[in-house]
Amino acid sequence: MNFSQQHLQALYQAYCKTHLLWQNADVNNLKQLEIPNDYDLLFLRKLERRLRLGQLAEQFVFNQLETCQTTKILAENIQIQKNKQTLGELDTLLVVDKQPIHLEIIYKFYVYDDRLGDLEIEKWIGPNRKDSLIEKLNKLQEKQLPLLYSQDCKSHLKLLELDHYSFNQNVLFKSQLFVPYQDKVDFKLINKDCVCGFYINISQLETFQNHHFYIPSKLDWFLEPHEKIDWLEFSNFRSESKAFLDNNQSPLFWLKNETGELSKGFLVWW
């Protein structure tokens, strides 16, 4: 990947600082895996190809797990096939404190839309409105986790000589959350520490005429805003963001106000 080692370490450490979306098994009885704190703070893996954000998050988790003294990775990214057709993939199989675990890894960006549904977990949606928290939870419960118990998976685990393990199932679901600008949002199930910023629509953009902006690349969405970048004037940001909005894409931006305070947000197209 075309990253300096320093840049990659910054992404890894930003991932590590991201909070779990909920604690224990508070949401839909999906139990979060708490990674022991003795993992290495340096990313030690070699990346051979360019990865999408979710794939890079997986590599960060694998690095954490394999550097913990009490964990052992048995297999990772296990594709389950039937008649040469891929049925799905198990993110990783591991042993934590002698307990075998099937772990699914998720890293998402959600915005809060109070108009959606009646339940708290129904109100979180992707900034492009293409996915939602409730859809992901349903996919985990109805497809991804049950895959472990399918006959095709059992056959594959036998080939890997892992069929003698009795696996518990956990998720590692981290997220960065964004709430409506200057709105008070109250939620109880979801971890409030995941809130990283706000979102605005195009009609609210004029509020920030005296601010400076930056549009990070997708993988830099992991990062907290910092000063070491080339800031855009308001007019330039409005121009550059138009290309995203015209394609129903919501750019993530960093913001610097008149006193130099930094923040993070989405400009949504809807």
| Over residues 160-182, mean pLDDT | 97
Residue 2 has pLDDT above 80, yes or no: no
Q: Give the count of alpha carbons within 13 A of 179, CB side only.
A: 12
Tokens 């610097």 belong to 256
| Over residues 175-203, mean pLDDT | 96
| Over residues 162-178, mean pLDDT | 97
**pLDDT tens-digit series, residues 8-64:** 999 999 999 999 999 988 899 999 999 989 999 999 999 988 999 999 999 999 999
pLDDT at 55: 98
Question: By the 8 A CB rule, do 18 and 174 touch?
Answer: yes
> What distance in Å separates the CA atoms of residue 235 and residue 253, rounded to the nearest whole number?
14
**pLDDT tens-digit series, residues 115-149:** 999 999 999 999 999 999 999 999 999 999 999 99
Question: By the 8 A CB rule, do 231 and 58 touch?
Answer: no
Percent of the chain topping pLDDT 90: 94
Residue 212 has pLDDT above 90, yes or no: yes
Average pLDDT in the chain: 96
pLDDT at 1: 59
pLDDT at 25: 85
